Amino acid sequence: MKVNITTIGGGTGTFNVLYGLKRNKDYNLAAIVSVSDSGGSTGEIRDQFGILPPGDIRRAIVALSEDTGIVRKLFEYRFKAGNRMSGHTIGNLLLTALTDITGSFEKGIQELSLMFDVRGKVIPVTLDDTQLGITLEDGTQIIGETNIDIPKHDANKGIRDAFLVGGGQLNPRAREVLVNSDYILIGPGDLYTSIVPNLLSEGMKEAIQESRAKIIYICNIMTKYGETNNFQVEDFVNVVEKYIGKNEIDYVLVNNAPIREELVLKYKQEENKQPVRITDISLFSNAPYKIIERDVVNEADYIRHDPEKLAGVIADFVEGWIK
């Protein structure tokens, strides 16, 4: 019997999770992906062609593709500056074309998944055209994912709440895989621009609560300036629980491996980011979830979750070594 594993997220974080898990043929994988991007190639395609933003969908397809050769490199190829195609990726353009040919964003994704031998399902969280918005602690509202991701406002102000403009009904296919999952993995990824947009979809909270799956929140390794300034593990968890409900998360996976000081200093100086720590494990003694601390970091050039290490920890859950 195969194990049904569903991921919720977007961007590099979800890519690393999927890339690690796809090697295990005992898993039925489904990736529920946010579609609220509004910047770069994705934003231009969204504005010009009126389709849902393809960027995070493209990354998930690449992560789950069995093709690791020239076809994959072609899919991720981004046109250089100096021409009208500047910034666009072949993958984004292919998905745009297939959406037009098939008459459906979802059918376009399915056809592209077949072309690139994708092992699993890539599902947009909603089929509605939505914009992400946040309310800052002073009451100011910011609309547009790109304006939150790269803040033009005072990024020292904390985020009070997030919302979707334009509806955002949960995709029925997303609901189906959630309800039938054995494990639901939330994160890692930028909290307010990759994770929360999924959780805001109408019906997401109810689908998660209806599911009998074990829910694992994979906590970020680093904070992000303008979104999670000075956050520690409990702060990340509190935000996720705000949108899916208390007592839903079963496990919180946290990196406990040391990170090279020169790399930490570089991130601090260049991006105003800092490591996410557990300062006092006793703070979680009465938590409804269990903290799992493991070495899951890859710090070769960038501080990222390591796909193989993540896959190893998830295998420990599936095989019953972590209870």
For residues 140 and 157, the answer to whether their CB atoms sit within 8 Å is yes
**How far is the C-alpha of 313 from the C-alpha of 252, rounded, in Å?**
12
User: Are 100 and 226 members of one domain?
Assistant: no
* Domain assignment of residue 118, yes or no: yes
149 lies in some domain? no
SS3 252: strand
Could you tell me if 179 and 300 lie in one domain? yes
- CATH, residue 192: 3.40.50.10680
Residue 18 clears pLDDT 80, i.e. is over it: yes
pLDDT above 70: residue 84:
no
Which structural domain, as residue segments, surrounds residue 202?
1-26+170-323
* Rounded (10°) angle between helices 40-49 and 90-102: 20
Asked whether residue 89 is assigned to any structural domain, the reply reads yes
How many domains are there within the chain?
A: 2
> Is the pLDDT reported for residue 75 higher than 90?
no
pLDDT at 50: 79
Looking at the fold, whether 84 and 211 belong to one and the same domain comes out as: no
State how far the Cα of 277 lies from the Cα of 280, in Å rounded to an integer: 9
Question: Is residue 138 domain-resident?
Answer: no
Instruction: Give the pair of three-digit tokens for residue 300.
Output: 């070769």
Both 70 and 15 in a single domain?
A: no
Q: What is the pLDDT of residues 257-303, one digit of tens each?
A: 999 999 999 999 999 999 999 988 998 999 999 999 999 999 888 99
Burial 164-190 (b: 16+ CB within 10 A, else e): beeebbbbebbbebbeebbbbbbbbbb
* Residue 190 main-chain phi, psi, to 5 deg: -55, 125
Rg (alpha carbons) of the chain, rounded to whole number = 19
**Same-domain check for residues 64 and 195:** no
Of 124, 139, 154, which marks where a domain is finished?
Answer: 124
Residue 319 lies in a domain: yes
| For the chain, percent of residues with pLDDT exceeding 70 | 96
Q: Are the beta carbons of 307 and 20 closer than 8 angstroms?
A: yes
| Residue 156 in domain | no
Mean pLDDT over 221-237 rounds to: 97
CA-CA distances (angstroms) from residue 106 to 109, 148, 202, 257?
5, 27, 19, 39
Longest Cα–Cα distance in the chain: 58
CA distance 193 to 133: 9
Q: Whose CA is closest to 127, among 35, 29, 6?
A: 35
Exposure on the CB side of residue 212, measured as CA atoms within 13 A:
1
Q: Report residue 82's pLDDT band, with 50, 70 and 90 as the boundaries.
A: low
In a domain, 91, yes or no: yes
* Residue for token pair 């910011």: 142
On whether both 91 and 186 belong to a single domain, the answer is no
**Residue 147, domain member (yes or no):** no
Per-residue pLDDT, 85: 64
Question: Are the C-beta atoms of residues 54 and 112 closer than 8 Å to each other?
Answer: no
Same domain? 179 vs 266: yes
Global pTM value: 0.95
Domain closes at, from 67, 98, 124? 124
